Amino acid sequence: MSPAFLVLLALGLGLAAWVAARARAWSFRRSQPGVRLASLPSYHGWYVALWVVLPVLLFAATWSVIAPQLVAQSVLASPAAAELPAFGMQRQTMLAEARAVAIGAAPAVFNPDAQGLVQPYRDAIGRFTAIGIAATLIIAFAGGAWAFLHLRPDFRARNRVERIIMGVLLLASLVAILTTLGIFGSLVFETVRFFSMVNPADFLFGTRWGPDPMSPADSPDGSRYGALPLFWGTIYIGAIIAMLVAIPLGLMSAIYLTQYAGPRWRRWLKPALEILAGVPTVVYGYFAALTVAPAIRDIAVSIGIENASSESALAAGLVMGVMIIPFVSSMADDSIAAVPRAMRDGSLAIGATNNETIRKVLVPAALPGIVAGVMLAVSRAIGETMIVVMAAGAAANLSANPLEAMTTVTFQIVAMLTGEGSFDHPATLSAFALGFVLFMVTLALNFIALRVVKRFREAYE
Amino acid sequence: MSEHVNLTRTAAFEKRLKRRYAAERIFRRAGLAAILFSIAVLLFLLVTMTANGIGGFKRVTLSVPIDFTEVGLALPQGMEGQGMAIRSLESQGLEEVVSFYAGQAMGEDAAAQLSADAWRVAADHIVEDPSILRRRVELDLPASEDLSAAYAGDGQAALQPLARRLAEQGFLSDSFDPGFLSRSDATDSQAVGIWGALKGSILTMLVTLALAFPIGVLAALYLEEYAPRNRWTDLIEVSINNLAAVPSIIFGLLGLAVFLGAFPYLRSAPIIGGMTLALMTMPVIVISGRNAIKAVPPSIRDGALAIGASPVQVVFHHVLPLALPGILTGTIIGMARALGETAPLLMIGMRAFVATPPDGFTAPATVLPVQIFLWSDEIDRGFVERTSAAIIVLLLFLLVMNGLAIYLRNRFEKTW
């Protein structure tokens, strides 16, 4: 039974409740012509409908999480399950296979031993589907009846409905906090598990990165989990090479757009620049790997650098820099525009040229905003994944040579989690530790940058 | 009377002024150059993708004359489903028939270069029009990857003479391949298509929209219209602003740890992908929604309140409809970003090889950007073209969405 079916059922019942309750409210009006309803009939309808739909949705959400577990439990309690291997991969595979056949996702079981489990699965799913639907109907009717019996001409249905709406609005805005807590909680939980296996000092200060997902999970070799080369690669690509491209180009673009370009040019150039920001990162990654990286290798070879690799920090960093240009440009644009016009006019009035005004007055005045923008750009660059996955390489090098392959935090997160590693292995868990570091760093950068921008805006207002 | 001497415009001054003006010109040109450079890179990227991608929409085919009257294949009567008919044709030896006629017409070496899927294409033709079993037909069947590469002028040197001979005899040609838009992933670059990934993308986006839009709009309404100024509201605002800047891959880690932890059977499913992307898109919708709501003038609210509307009625009957175009613009931009997103979906297993289009929200699926990423790892020359072709399709979708957003903004945006 799919949750979608329960949701549709809830909505159908809700519609029925709405119609019934509204008709009831109209009947008040007809039977007692002198009495005015405290709320419009449709609010009576909404009141009862919400009392039907909300409990059912709540139930559907809970049920869709616990029902599969109940099914699995009852299958494991069946006699056929006694012959399963006690634990491990094979047990999981057989269960999954039998389940797939039972719900009709697969035509037949691959492993004949799993055949015996299909029938118990089918029975259990059927039983719990029936229970689920029955419970849904009971809840819907109980909620509906309770609300329906409340309807009276002087019942303030609108106030009740609006109170529920306010609750829903509050819940919707709490989703953001829940997401933040969810991210923080899951990262911290897995990171703590990782640090119970690998010494945090080894992780943060070690210089050799080479987790082996095939090694025994219970005695990891701490010296293989040194993340320093990853941090260096991330900073080198995202905060150095990319910024060497993005800061001058982005700043100059913003200056030209705000100070020199006429309105007509501006109308065309600005959206064109914004298209750069809209290109998906996977396209940039492919561009870096297919075009830029080979070109850089060819240039390196032609100027006499032997063994230049086809994956290089330079290729990834350059393309990432281009991707970040519109971001830096729009942040710089905003902060230059926030500088009071009087400062600019004053400088021009004492005879400075445009370029002197910009370099000596506007940019220094806008500097806090520009710096904040650059911090946001850095936080975006170090969290960028696809470009480095496709162009930067997997080798963890602690080197300053931009032509060497280098790996980053995001690359290793992808590499550690897309294999078939088990969730209890430190190699898999290390991805969460890396994610935690990345999250905290970007959080800090964003937090500081947003504060700076706020302070800066207030200073000129 | 002494001659009038201009004390300020000395020779040194003139020189300095010239230098300052020169610096001004250089600075101005540097600014223009910065923008033009960015745009040039963009154009170069688009041109590269287009030049590579055009070939991806084509397929190299061998036209094989087959005389079905001599063979005596029969389509089983009354059998339901294409799959059954194709399986029956396979057991009747269609594959051998195809390669026999190919060998007869073009030589054994050419017959060996038919794609492994060639007989399947022939079977599709037969199922579509069973009458060809009673006559002699020429079927365009896909060539192998190697022969396709040779036809394009690279790949194995040994095959190039064969390709040239077949092309001269008129057997080998390339043509627009409509199947690229209707097939799914495959191991052979000649047999791949993007429909499977595209359908996965559409299903994922539907889930994202269904979750992110209502939650985002309701949260924006609450924060802008009702929220009391207190520490909780500040906390909500701070978390929304931070979520908007958290790297997307972190959302993938969240999806992996929380959603896949709760629903382990839904690995690679569009519903999990959609939920993950919804969390990522929601802050974008909240932020743009708040700006749109802020732009609705207070006089509207005061007017509605004055004639007796309740605060909820004010917002849902007056403010929300007026702010909706702005909210929709922000939503489309957020959805476009989600559509191009790859990294979080890699985390939750949407990189599996999926050879059939997903038939529901819970079926294993992949999405277009992930498909591009997977194909970019293939070494075969054919995949380079296919990857670029898939990128063109993705960029077209993004173009349409962004165009729609701009249209909405221009059409409905009011300045009060």
Q: From chain B, pick out residues whose CB is under 8 angstroms from the CB of A168.
A: 218
Q: How high is the mean pLDDT of chain A? A: 86
Q: Is B394 on the interface with A (CB under 8 A)?
A: yes
Contact call for residues B260 and B267 (beta carbons, < 8 A) = yes
For residue A27, the model assigns a pLDDT of 87
**Dist CA A259 CA B320 (whole Å):** 37
pLDDT tens for the 416 residues of chain B, in order: 556 777 778 888 899 999 999 999 999 999 999 999 999 999 999 999 998 888 888 888 888 888 877 777 777 665 556 667 777 777 777 778 888 888 877 777 777 777 777 777 887 777 777 777 777 888 888 888 777 777 777 767 777 777 777 777 777 778 788 888 888 888 777 788 889 999 999 999 999 999 999 999 999 999 999 988 889 888 898 889 889 889 999 999 999 989 888 887 788 899 999 999 999 999 999 999 999 999 999 999 999 999 999 999 999 999 999 999 889 999 999 999 999 999 999 988 888 788 888 888 888 899 999 999 999 888 777 788 889 999 999 999 999 998 888 888 888 777 66
Q: For A196-209, give one letter per residue: b (16+ CB within 10 A) or e.
A: ebbeeebbeebeeb
**Is residue A145 located within the same domain as residue A293?**
no
Residue of A nearest to B217 (CA): A172
Contact call for residues A405 and A313 (beta carbons, < 8 A) = yes
- Choose, out of A42, A71, A91, A173, the residue to mutate when testing the contact with B (most B CBs < 10 Å): A173
**Dist CA A274 CA A288 (whole Å):** 19
Contact call for residues B228 and A416 (beta carbons, < 8 A) = no
Helix, strand, coil shares, percent, chain A, to 5: 80, 0, 20
Q: From chain A, pick out residues whose CB is under 8 angstroms from the CB of B236.
A: 173-174, 176-177
For residue B358, the model assigns a pLDDT of 86
Closest partner CB to A282 (pick from B245, B336, B373): B373
**Do B241 and A450 count as a contact with CB atoms less than 8 A apart?**
yes
**What is B215-262 written as a DSSP string?**
HHHHHHHIIIII--SSHHHHHHHHHHHHHTTS-HHHHHHHIIIIIHHH
How many pairs of residues across A and B have Cβ atoms under 8 Å apart?
251
Contact call for residues B139 and B122 (beta carbons, < 8 A) = yes
Instruction: Decide if A447 is inside a domain.
Output: yes
CA-based nearest distance A282→chain B, Å:
6
Tokens of B239: 């978390």
**Do A65 and B263 count as a contact with CB atoms less than 8 A apart?**
yes
CA-based nearest distance B61→chain A, Å:
27
- As beta bridge partners, residue B172 has B62
**Do A389 and B373 count as a contact with CB atoms less than 8 A apart?**
yes
Closest partner CB to A169 (pick from B28, B30, B221): B221
Residue of A nearest to B384 (CA): A290
- Strand arrangement of the beta sheet that strand B136-142 belongs to: B136-142, B58-67, B172-176
- Choose, out of B17, B253, B400, the residue to mutate when testing the contact with A (most A CBs < 10 Å): B253
**Is residue B204 located within the same domain as residue B245?**
yes
Instruction: Decide if B248 is inside a domain.
Output: yes
Task: Compute CA B299 distance to the chain's CA centroid, rounded to the nearest angstrom.
Answer: 43
- Choose, out of B8, B21, B41, the residue to mutate when testing the contact with A (most A CBs < 10 Å): B41
**Dist CA A141 CA A156 (whole Å):** 22
Task: Compute CA A443 distance to the chain's CA centroid, rounded to the nearest angstrom.
Answer: 14
**Do B254 and A183 count as a contact with CB atoms less than 8 A apart?**
yes
Q: What is the pLDDT of residues A320-362, one digit of tens each?
A: 999 999 999 999 998 898 889 999 999 999 999 999 999 999 9
Per-window interface: B 343-372 vs A, CB < 8 A: 343, 346-347, 351, 361-363, 369-370, 372
Residue of B nearest to A325 (CA): B38
Number of domains in chain B: 2
**Complex ipTM over 0.90:** no
Per-window interface: A 53-92 vs B, CB < 8 A: 65, 68
- As beta bridge partners, residue B76 has none
Q: Which residues contact A264 (CB under 8 A, 6 or more apart)?
A: none
- As beta bridge partners, residue A225 has A209
Residue of B nearest to A261 (CA): B32
**What is A72-97 written as a DSSP string?**
HHHHHHSGGGGGS-SSSHHHHHHHHH
**Is residue B131 located within the same domain as residue B222?**
no
**Is residue B128 located within the same domain as residue B266?**
no
First and final C-alpha spacing in chain A = 58
**Is residue B271 located within the same domain as residue B214?**
yes
Residue A156: helix, strand or coil by DSSP? coil
For residue B114, the model assigns a pLDDT of 79
Residue A115: helix, strand or coil by DSSP? helix
**Dist CA A443 CA B92 (whole Å):** 64
Q: Write down which residue in A103, A124, A154 finishes a domain.
A: A154
Which domain range does residue A99 map to? 3-154
Closest partner CB to A253 (pick from B38, B45, B279): B38
Instruction: Give the residue from A372, A349, A376, A377 showing the smallest Cα distance to A361.
Output: A349
pTM of this structure: 0.87
Instruction: Decide if B55 is inside a domain.
Output: no
**Dist CA B127 CA B130 (whole Å):** 6
Q: From chain B, pick out residues whose CB is under 8 angstroms from the CB of A260.
A: 28, 31-32
**Dist CA B224 CA B408 (whole Å):** 22
Q: What is the pLDDT of residues A374-413, one digit of tens each?
A: 999 999 999 999 999 998 877 787 888 888 888 899 999 9
First and final C-alpha spacing in chain B = 67
Q: How many CB atoms lie within 10 A of CB B48?
A: 17
Q: How many CB atoms lie within 10 A of CB A156?
A: 14
For residue B406, the model assigns a pLDDT of 83
**Is residue A140 located within the same domain as residue A255?**
no
Contact call for residues B286 and B331 (beta carbons, < 8 A) = no
Q: Looking at the predicted structure, is the pLDDT value of residue A35 above 60?
A: yes
Closest partner CB to B42 (pick from A183, A253, A275): A275
Instruction: Decide if A226 is inside a domain.
Output: yes
Q: From chain B, pick out residues whose CB is under 8 angstroms from the CB of A269.
A: 35, 39
Contact call for residues A230 and A409 (beta carbons, < 8 A) = yes
CA-based nearest distance A385→chain B, Å:
6
For residue A411, the model assigns a pLDDT of 92
| B136: phi then psi, degrees, rounded to nearest 5 | -100, 125
For residue B249, the model assigns a pLDDT of 94
Contact call for residues B34 and B164 (beta carbons, < 8 A) = no
Task: Compute CA A414 distance to the chain's CA centroid, rounded to the nearest angstrom.
Answer: 14
**Do B38 and A326 count as a contact with CB atoms less than 8 A apart?**
yes
**Is residue B366 located within the same domain as residue B282?**
yes
Q: Is B206 on the interface with A (CB under 8 A)?
A: no
pLDDT band at A85 (very low <50, low <70, confident <90, very high): low
Contact call for residues B68 and B132 (beta carbons, < 8 A) = yes
**Dist CA B143 CA B27 (whole Å):** 57
CA-based nearest distance A174→chain B, Å:
7
Instruction: Decide if A190 is inside a domain.
Output: no
Instruction: Decide if A202 is inside a domain.
Output: no
Higher pLDDT, A123 or B393: B393
Residue of A nearest to B26 (CA): A355
Which helix (H) or strand (E) segment holds residue B137: the answer is strand B136-142
Task: Compute CA A332 distance to the chain's CA centroid, rounded to the nearest angstrom.
Answer: 26
**Do A414 and B249 count as a contact with CB atoms less than 8 A apart?**
yes
**Is residue B169 located within the same domain as residue B257?**
no
**Is residue A134 located within the same domain as residue A253?**
no
Instruction: Decide if B235 is inside a domain.
Output: yes
Q: Is B379 on the interface with A (CB under 8 A)?
A: no
Q: Is A44 on the interface with B (CB under 8 A)?
A: no
Q: Is B80 exposed, middle or buried (0-12, 13-18, 19+ CB in 10 A)?
A: exposed
**Is residue B205 located within the same domain as residue B139?**
no
Mean pLDDT of A14-33: 87
**Dist CA A287 CA B47 (whole Å):** 11
Which domain range does residue B199 map to? 195-412
- As beta bridge partners, residue B64 has B139
**Is residue B214 located within the same domain as residue B135?**
no
Q: Write down which residue in A128, A154, A180 finishes a domain.
A: A154
CA-based nearest distance B71→chain A, Å:
33
CA-based nearest distance A273→chain B, Å:
7
Q: What is the pLDDT of residues A208-242, one digit of tens each?
A: 888 877 777 666 777 788 888 899 999 999 999 99
**Dist CA B231 CA B237 (whole Å):** 10
Tokens of B231: 């520490």
Which helix (H) or strand (E) segment holds residue B122: the answer is helix B118-128
Mean pLDDT of A270-292: 90
**Is residue B202 located within the same domain as residue B351?**
yes
**Dist CA B248 CA B38 (whole Å):** 24
Number of domains in chain A: 2
Q: Is A277 on the interface with B (CB under 8 A)?
A: no
For residue A352, the model assigns a pLDDT of 92
**Is residue B214 located within the same domain as residue B282?**
yes
**Is residue A150 located within the same domain as residue A226?**
no
Instruction: Decide if B71 is inside a domain.
Output: yes
Q: From chain A, pick out residues whose CB is under 8 angstroms from the CB of B310.
A: 158, 162
Residue of A nearest to B47 (CA): A287
Q: From chain A, pick out residues whose CB is under 8 angstroms from the CB of B38.
A: 249, 253, 273, 276, 322, 325-326
Instruction: Decide if B356 is inside a domain.
Output: yes
Instruction: Decide if B17 is inside a domain.
Output: no
Per-window interface: B 208-247 vs A, CB < 8 A: 214-216, 218-219, 221-223, 226-227, 235-236, 239-243, 245-247
Q: Is B50 on the interface with A (CB under 8 A)?
A: no
Closest partner CB to A383 (pick from B45, B249, B363): B249
Q: Is A413 on the interface with B (CB under 8 A)?
A: yes
Q: For A300-312, give one letter per residue: b (16+ CB within 10 A) or e.
A: beeeeeeebbebb
CATH number, domain at B258? 1.10.3720.10
**Is residue A272 located within the same domain as residue A421?**
yes
